[in-house]
Amino acid sequence: MQAVGRSKPEITVVSPAYNEAENLPHMYDRLVAVFSTLGVSWEWVVVDDHSGDDTFGRLTALALQDERVRAVRLSRNFGSHAAVHCGLSHAVGNCAIVMAADLQDPPEVIPSLLEKWRQGAQVVWAAREQRAGEKEINLFFSRCYHGMINRLSGLAQVPPKGADFWLMDRVVIRGYLRFREIHSSTMLLIVWMGFRQETIGYCKQARQHGRSGWTLKKKLKLFIDSLTAFTHFPIRLMSYLGLFVATLGFLYALFIIMHAWVGHPVQGWSSLMVAILVLGGMQMGMLGILGEYLWRSHDESRRRPRYLIERRTWKKSANPSENRSA
């Protein structure tokens, strides 16, 4: 398509959307309200991560009514990180604001993000200070995840409670789109990239409509992805553990030889069974850790696209010149 009609918007809002049909019209109204007070040109790129509800239908209606809205639908559910990557590859603004489509990230925070950006920050994280309506158990696991990842990744500047709402300058977007990794965490990759990063706080709101698409399976995968992408600590731990157990085994062998030497050989199979079970279990666990690293590197070496696009809808007069398509 040709870049005709209106000029390039200054700001792009990128939202991944999975079964968000109910939320999208409200989000659109709030974005319009916020940007009308700011008086800057903007666009909203929404990537439908192959929803099962009418998400794409609602998006199409919005896109046909307002040229600032651009709708993309992925060919299957690839996960929100892939959807964000796709959205960023369509963004044409001088900066992009990545935010969920469920209104848990309030659009009213956008002016504070833009203020930091105008002061010179190239990445501005909106870090969750409070999370309304979240179950205690989820908050507990979230704290464990971020605590471990922050400690093990060795990356300074990781927002301590995580962040899935942020602003990126065009120069950061360009850099980010060069990454071809599939099994990784978007937040950690951006922190890893460097640039001038700053953080502001906000209160993550409760969901009004629909359910969280972040199943336990997806969260576990992100946890292992984040570990394998940013630390070799589990492999190092295996080596240390192996060395430690081998030393113990050697000392135990010495103990047995000494006993036999003085004429009181150690009796019994239970100690043997314990040793076999402990060692067998540990070895299997260690093979599992190696396997997690191995299949990821195997998968990455196939260089499959991170996502595939099924459809795109926006008004002809919009300016859809893309950075790159996957």
Sequence-separated (6 or more) residues with CB below 8 Å from residue 173: 88, 91, 95, 96, 323
Q: Is-contact 15 47, C-beta < 8 A?
A: yes
Name which of 102 and 225 has its Cβ closer to ligand UDP.
102
- Site mask for ligand UDP (CB under 6 A), range 10-29, x = bound: -----xxxx-x---------
Residue 29 and residue 93: Cα distance in Å, rounded? 20
Sequence-separated (6 or more) residues with CB below 8 Å from residue 211: 19
Among the listed ranges 95-103, 221-229, 240-248, 258-266, the one in contact with ligand UDP (CB under 6 A) is 95-103
Distance in Å, CB of 9 to Mg ion, minimum: 25
| Closest residue to Mg ion, based on beta-carbon distance | 104
Give the footprint of Mg ion on this chain (CB under 5 A): 100, 102, 104
**Joined tokens for residue 91:** 């963004």
Q: Is-contact 323 10, C-beta < 8 A?
A: no
Sheet holding 123-131, edge to edge: 197-204, 123-131, 166-169, 95-98, 11-17, 42-48, 69-74, 309-313
Name which of 102 and 169 has its Cβ closer to Mg ion.
102
Does residue 225 belong to the site contacting ligand UDP (CB under 6 A)? Answer: no
Distance in Å, CB of 102 to ligand UDP, minimum: 5
Distance in Å, CB of 212 to Mg ion, minimum: 5
Q: Single out the residue of 62, 83, 95, 114 in contact with ligand UDP (rule: CB under 6 A).
A: 83
Interactions with ligand UDP, residue window 264-303 (CB under 6 A): none
Distance in Å, CB of 123 to ligand UDP, minimum: 19
Q: 């399976």: which residue's tokens?
A: 217
Interactions with ligand UDP, residue window 29-68 (CB under 6 A): 49
Name which of 19 and 197 has its Cβ closer to ligand UDP.
19
**Joined tokens for residue 28:** 């659109």
Name which of 58 and 319 has its Cβ closer to ligand UDP.
58
Distance in Å, CB of 16 to ligand UDP, minimum: 3
Does residue 87 belong to the site contacting ligand UDP (CB under 6 A)? Answer: no
| Closest residue to ligand UDP, based on beta-carbon distance | 213
Q: Which residue ranges make up the site for ligand UDP (CB under 6 A)?
A: 15-18, 20, 49, 77, 79-80, 83, 100-102, 104, 212-214
